[in-house]
Amino acid sequence: MNHIIDETHDPAHTSWVPGADDHAEFPIQNLPLGIFSNGADPRGGIAIGDQILDLAALAQSGLLEGSALEAAVAASGPTLNPLLALGPEPRRALRRAVSTLLSDPGEQDVVSHCVHPAAACTLHLPATVGDYTDFYVGIHHATNVGKVFRPDNPLLPNYKYVPIGYHGRASSVRVSGTPLVRPLGQLKAPDAETPVRAPTRRLDFELEMGVWIGTGNALGETIPIAGAADHVAGLSLLNDWSARDIQAWEYQPLGPFLAKNFLTTVSPWIVTAEALAPFRTAQPGRPEGDPAPLPYLLDADDQASGAFAITLEVSLSSEAMRAAGMAPVRLSRSAATHMYWTIAQMVTHHASNGCDLRPGDLLGTGTISAPARDGFGSLLELTRAGAEPITLPTGELRSFLEDGDELTLAGRAEATGYRSIGFGPCTGVVLPATSA
Ligand code: MN
């Protein structure tokens, strides 16, 4: 179902929307889903170039019928949860109808009344997140972090059997652009006897992808690996902001808590599973000697096409850089193929004990680091826990994030013979701690 490539992916397909055909992220081959407002109530929209197609207006226009109309009606409210609950087929029907309407010059007069300049709109979280779970499937990140604690044995033995994850906090998931107020927490220096409460001194980012769940499963039922991809509505970028000093003190014995739940930022658009079909690629083979996944996590089709050819980048600008008119500096360049488990395996494992997933649930992949240093997905790795600071173009040093820093994630799906598509920014600026 998620593998269908049709006329909506044709690289020769063009739109009458000015600038859309040359747009780096949102050409007509993308058509990502989000929630926007422009004075009126928040409602569903589709990004096309520098414009947003208003799905509530489109649903009223009389231009849609059948399951495409059903999907647009479901996307007319303040969250996309009702649309996500419909599953892939209505979403695909809407994609095909919108692709035609935005391409056919004969439709321009009518449809252009449903299109708004994105610059005049506010973007919101695309769905109400009932539950947020963060995985740990970036094997190079897991190895790098493990080395800090266990130089000879960085990966624990469960890693190659279990897609490791923890339950995160849904209430503090926000859309790109939300400022990050430096959190306070308990910090304990290694040589100190007792902790102090202070603003974190080791504020970090984590380069991740977010997985939006479409249709879920009933409590007590599982999601077989062969159909797991149909439960994924689409992907976003995700920054799992982390306070390493709080984390180091609090994580034992139950894992991440206040070090990570002060804010999680996602890019505004759900790049749909349908749009990503051309960018599916084989899951990289496991290194010689690694165990095969247990049968419930192993599916030939998933192994053949369950990874995604998406390049990922992190960039930073300090307050001084922006004041001097300097462009952001790239910190890292990685790819979504550096995941030890596929997204389908994450979904299947999550439901494998009968835990129910619901439309709008959000899964983080975990930090996706490339093998080499220029592709590490956190400052913890890039600066070797602060020991080797990065020098910015202003001469400023960065071990961890400072107040005024603006951190941006970007992603780009690329495949030979197809128009590449992007995700929109996942950005946030660090503000000073406000209270004690
Ligand atoms: Mn994480």
Asked whether 184 and 435 are in contact (CB, 8 A), the reply is: yes
CA 242 to centroid of ligand 1, rounded, Å: 8
Respond yes or no: is residue 141 known to be catalytic.
yes
Amino acid at 93: A
CA 203 to centroid of ligand 1, rounded, Å: 13
Amino acid at 14: T
Backbone angles phi, psi at 200, to 5 degrees: -55, 140
Asked whether 388 and 380 are in contact (CB, 8 A), the reply is: no
Asked whether 407 and 400 are in contact (CB, 8 A), the reply is: no
Pairing type for strands 264-266 and 232-239 reads antiparallel
* 34 three-class SS: strand
Selection from 167, 163, 204, 194 nearest residue 339 by Cα: 163
Q: Whole-angstrom Cα distance, residue 125 to residue 134?
A: 18
- Domains delineated in the chain: 7-124 (2.30.30.230), 132-431 (3.90.850.10)
pLDDT mean for each 10 residues of the chain (436 residues): 87 97 98 95 98 98 97 98 98 98 97 97 98 97 88 91 98 98 96 96 98 98 98 98 96 94 98 98 96 98 98 98 98 98 98 98 98 97 96 98 98 98 98 88
CA 92 to centroid of ligand 1, rounded, Å: 31
End-to-end CA distance of the chain: 52
CA 52 to centroid of ligand 1, rounded, Å: 31
Q: Whole-angstrom Cα distance, residue 366 to residue 135?
A: 5
Contacts of 289 (CB under 8 A, 6+ apart): none
The vertex-387 CA angle with 385 and 392, nearest 5°, equals 95
DSSP string, 156-179: -GGGGTS--EEE--STTEEETT--
242, β-bridge pairs: 204
Token digits for 189?
């220096």
* 186 three-class SS: strand
In this prediction, residue 174 carries a pLDDT of 98
DSSP string, 371-426: SSGGG-SSHHHHTTTTTSPEEPTTS-EESS--TT-EEEEEEEE--TTS--EE---E
Q: Whole-angstrom Cα distance, residue 326 to residue 111?
A: 40
CA 269 to centroid of ligand 1, rounded, Å: 20
CA 368 to centroid of ligand 1, rounded, Å: 9
CA 125 to centroid of ligand 1, rounded, Å: 19
In this prediction, residue 184 carries a pLDDT of 98
Q: Whole-angstrom Cα distance, residue 275 to residue 2?
A: 9
CA 135 to centroid of ligand 1, rounded, Å: 7
In this prediction, residue 2 carries a pLDDT of 61
Report in angstroms the alpha-carbon separations of 125 from 265, 266, 405: 10, 8, 23
Catalytic residue among 9, 23, 116, 141: 141
